[in-house]
Amino acid sequence: MTTTTAHIEAGEAVQRDLRATVADRLRRARPDLADRHDLTTYDGLAAAGAEIAAETDTETEQGDGTLVAVVIRDLDLTAWARQTCAYALGLEPGPAHVWRRSLTRTVFVAGNPAHLAARFPPARTAPDGSAAWTAPGPPMASAPLRRLLKLLQATAPVPTGPDTSFDVPAPPDHPRPTDAPASSGRVHHLHLATADCTYSAALVHLNHVLVEAVLDGLLRPGDHVVLRRVPHLGGPPAPYAAVRAVPDPHRPGHLRTAAALTGPLPTGAD
């Protein structure tokens, strides 16, 4: 086998693994999609994703899908990630389930939560007032808020840099029930690929990984999460418990790993 052939086969194996990861996410949220789309192919995955997106179309405000709107005043990825975990942990099982069926669709808008609270009471506000979340609901529920504000345009590229970290907080009210006890000292690494990644894109990638990890019980109150920003991420197999795979803008018909979360690591791994 030549070096070129081996490289091609390795690349194809990575693509198969990434497609399988996306397919598993789709099946867990919407098992009905497997009956209508071939989730082993790139085109089938894209068609299934487009079907879910149409259900939460924010242009027409139609459909029976579910989304969450997040108002951002100040953006610090690490602080926001911590509060995103707290928001997801505070959801009741019913709303969490219907949001998950829409692949945790989230819209980020720019604004000051303090100026909006009276007119649009949020489901949760970060303690420092930097962000606020609506409850999961149909597009029409948050349409007035989203029409009032502009989509968050955080177009600056995310730089690589030193690791940052946070502890997953326990929500002060309505904690999401779980069969597992709160953890103590478990460590996860949250990886973000920074190449061609703006802060707006980073919010989307990390939001999906963190929220779904919380809803799946992978992240629990007390867990320690280390955010690592690196230029590129390899695909599975890797020590990842959750992967965010997206279309590769430089290679049509291919996926790339945008973000990934490890399972609990041995003590001292951070």
Residue 168 is classified by DSSP as P
For residue 124, count CB atoms less than 10 angstroms from its CB and return exposed for 0-12, middle for 13-18, buried for 19 or more: buried
Run of H or E including 88: helix 77-89
Tell whether the torsion through CA atoms of 137, 138, 140 and 144 is positive or negative.
positive
Per-residue pLDDT of the chain (270 residues; tens, 9 = 90+): 554 554 554 688 999 999 999 999 999 999 998 889 999 999 999 999 999 888 887 766 666 789 999 999 999 999 999 999 999 999 999 999 999 999 999 999 999 999 999 999 999 999 999 999 999 999 999 999 999 999 999 999 999 999 999 999 987 654 444 544 555 579 999 999 999 999 999 999 999 999 999 999 999 999 999 999 999 998 777 789 999 999 999 999 999 999 999 999 866 555
Contact residues for 87 (Cβ-Cβ < 8 A; gap 6+): 123, 124, 133, 171, 211
Question: What is the per-residue pLDDT for 61?
Answer: 66
Spatial separation of the C-alpha atoms in residues 122 and 111, rounded to whole Å? 13
Contact in structure between 29 and 48 (CB atoms under 8 Å): no
Question: What is the per-residue pLDDT for 39?
Answer: 95
Question: What is the per-residue pLDDT for 3?
Answer: 47
Question: What is the per-residue pLDDT for 236?
Answer: 76
